[in-house]
């Protein structure tokens, strides 16, 4: 498998997943803003010029959540997914999709408005609204972790998706001392060797 990758992007999730599963992969590395990602050749790989993309033989797939589900279905052998006959499976599906459905939209707004745009083009109304929304979303994750270490019981791919989004979100909002469950969860995730490897990948 080949992962089209750039640090500090959703591609970290795919490296993390492969490391957790012990799968072999090759990297096609980029950096954010790399002009090669806007070249016609790369737009044949990802039509929006983004990462991650996974190539597996004749298969090419983008969108981190779709890649996670593909890798698990093809190579997971039941790992990192709760048994479908248990209530944990419903929790797993919910939190697998919470990352992109709820957490990442305000994260994206904050990244654009506080990092990408030059200061004179930033909109404080957008920043304030996204910050408020993100705090609410993180509060939901914090509450869900009450009495449990991971979102679906045992560590699962839901933690790779929403855990990664939570880590990114917490860095943007700053102090999360009012969300002790989330703070402890992020510490647990960041102590995992597979995530440490993914974050260190260049």
pLDDT of residue 174: 80
In tens, the pLDDT along 105-140 reads: 999 999 999 999 999 999 999 999 999 999 999 999
Report how far residue 19's alpha carbon sits from residue 196's, in angstroms, rounded to the nearest whole number: 10
Task: For residue 166, count CB atoms less than 10 angstroms from its CB and return exposed for 0-12, middle for 13-18, buried for 19 or more.
Answer: buried
Give the predicted TM-score (pTM) of the model. 0.96
In tens, the pLDDT along 154-183 reads: 999 999 999 999 999 999 988 899 999 999
Q: 88 pLDDT band (50/70/90 cuts)?
A: very high
In tens, the pLDDT along 21-73 reads: 999 999 999 998 899 999 999 999 999 999 999 999 999 999 999 999 999 99
Give the pair of three-digit tokens for residue 112.
């654009």
In terms of phi and psi (left: phi > 0; alpha: psi -120 to 50; beta: otherwise), the region of 174 is left
Report how far residue 197's alpha carbon sits from residue 179's, in angstroms, rounded to the nearest whole number: 26
Over residues 172-199, the mean pLDDT reads: 95
Sign of CA dihedral 117, 123, 126, 127: positive
Q: CATH assignment of 87-198?
A: 1.20.1050.10
Give the pair of three-digit tokens for residue 35.
């002009």
Q: Which CATH architecture has domain 2-79?
A: 3-Layer(aba) Sandwich (3.40)
The residues spanned by each domain of the chain are 2-79, 87-198
């Amino acid at each position: 498998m080949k992962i089209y990758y750039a640090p500090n992007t959703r591609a970290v999730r795919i490296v993390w997943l492969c490391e957790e599963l012990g799968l072999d992969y090759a990297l096609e590395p980029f950096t954010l803003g790399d002009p090669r990602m806007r070249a016609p050749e790369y737009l044949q790989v990802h039509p929006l010029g983004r990462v991650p993309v996974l190539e597996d033989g004749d298969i090419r797939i983008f969108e981190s959540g779709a890649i996670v589900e593909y890798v698990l279905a093809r190579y997971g052998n039941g790992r990192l997914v709760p048994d479908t006959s248990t209530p944990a499976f419903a929790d797993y599906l919910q939190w697998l999709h919470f990352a992109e459905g709820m957490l990442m939209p305000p994260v994206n707004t904050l990244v654009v408005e506080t990092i990408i745009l030059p200061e004179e083009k930033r909109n404080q109304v957008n920043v304030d609204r996204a910050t408020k929304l993100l705090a609410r979303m993180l509060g939901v994750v914090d509450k869900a972790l009450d009495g449990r270490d991971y979102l679906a019981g045992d560590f699962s791919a839901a933690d790779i998706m929403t855990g990664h989004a939570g880590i990114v979100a917490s860095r943007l909002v700053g102090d999360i001392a009012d969300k002790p469950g989330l703070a402890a969860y992020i510490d647990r995730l960041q102590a995992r060797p597979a995530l440490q490897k993914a974050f260190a990948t260049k």
